[in-house]
Copies of this chain bind each other. A is one copy, B any other.
Amino acid sequence: MAGNTFGTLFRITTFGESHGTALGVTIDGCPAGIPLDEAVVQKELDRRRPGAHAAASDGTPDLRGGRLNPAMTSRKEDDSCEILSGVFEGKTTGTPIAIVVRNTNQKSEDYGDIAFKYRPGHADYPFRAKYGVRDYRGGGRSSGRETIGRVAAGAIAKAVLEREGIAVRAWTSEAVGIPCETFDEGAIEQNAMRACDGAAADKMLARIIELKAAGDSGGGIISCRISGLPAGLGEPVFDKLDALLARAVLSVGAIKGIEFGAGFAAARMTGSEHNDAMRSGTATAGGAEPGAPLSGKPDFLTNHAGGILGGLSTGADVVFRAAVKPVSSISIQQQTIDTDGRDCDIEVRGRHDVCLCPRIVPVIEAMAALTVLDLLLQQKALR
């Protein structure tokens, strides 16, 4: 199982299974001199923690437990991180940063039944076909807990990007069939769905309570905006900014699609509708020689391109949307086969999320931040 490494210059390797001893990440290539302690990482880990949630729409912020978030599993996990290396006197030294989160509440007995049956929608069957063996305890490496390492590394990437004036922000723009109708950035971390529309969030939560009662689940759409990027980020052929973001985002378990700017709607537009016209802007960037000031930087009158042309950032906000499939673990009876190849039925018991959107938001932010930072470092190399 190769493929646990992400990035070229800011390079992370994640490890750990849902019911093993610990999960974590090693980060190679972090610049020296960045202020860092466990709190920076813990803050982001808490956003993806099972049982954690933003305040409900009544405005009560409650980030470490408290009132139940109906979208999420009732499994309680502390997910406290420890930084093992790479930090000295409160700053990164440039050496690899290893971060570990120990598993404390696995309850693997919940999963006994699935040792012999392939759960529909899960990777059980292809895992077995690939490796011959399978760690059936809660999905093992294919569990959502695998994202702990991503979020921990993403927290550091975000901290580095912030120093460059770059911000990555994601939110739920649709869930369980209910779209947001307004965009209120301040609402995002104030409701349990991380939706950009508090009223829609209430409807989503009501629908989630119904789905939970029926033993069913739902999906949704995450939107993400990266602001403050210089123009020219990305590499023009295989390492296009959108190509690398797509790989980063599709590498998150439940994501089934991504679109940039107008996305699939662009397929139905004409060139004259789709092209983003430019007018003279006020700021300057880039240069006649690499590094020297360009005499002008455009304002784009629209952003159908999603801030990317020819795989390079244009200086406008990069915007994309990602489709989240419904949670695969449902307690409704489903048809499957067992490990001997015989037909059987399965009901997946245990404590599961109903809709992944609010917990995937920080994971998408992490993957976007990791992608952008890696390209930013590459950009510096060739200046």
Contacts and interface: CB of A to CB of B under 8 A. Distances in A.
A285 interface: yes
A290 interface: yes
B337 A131 contact: no
Contact of A298 (B9, B310, B311, B336): B336
Given A3-B239, A96-B13, A251-B240, A33 B289 contact: yes
A75 interface: no
Interface in A223-263: 230-240, 242-251, 253, 256-263
A121 B256 contact: no
A237 B251 contact: yes
B382 A2 contact: yes
A305 interface: yes
A279 B335 CA distance: 7
B256 A306 contact: yes
A341 B22 contact: no
A339 B239 CA distance: 26
Interface string A247-290: 11111010011111111101111111111111111001111111
A280 to B, nearest CB: 5
Interface residues of A, number: 167
A35 interface: no
A296 B124 CA distance: 13
A134 B270 CA distance: 27
Contact of A337 (B127, B240, B296, B309): B296
A29 interface: yes
A337 B280 contact: yes
Contact of A14 (B141, B237, B328): B237
A1 B95 contact: yes
A125 B342 contact: no
A292 interface: yes
Contact of A263 (B97, B129, B257): B257
A213 interface: no
Among A286, A301, A330, A339, the one with the most B-chain Cβ atoms within 10 Å of its Cβ is: A286
A118 interface: yes
A130 B381 contact: no
Given A26-B15, A235-B2, A310 B260 contact: no
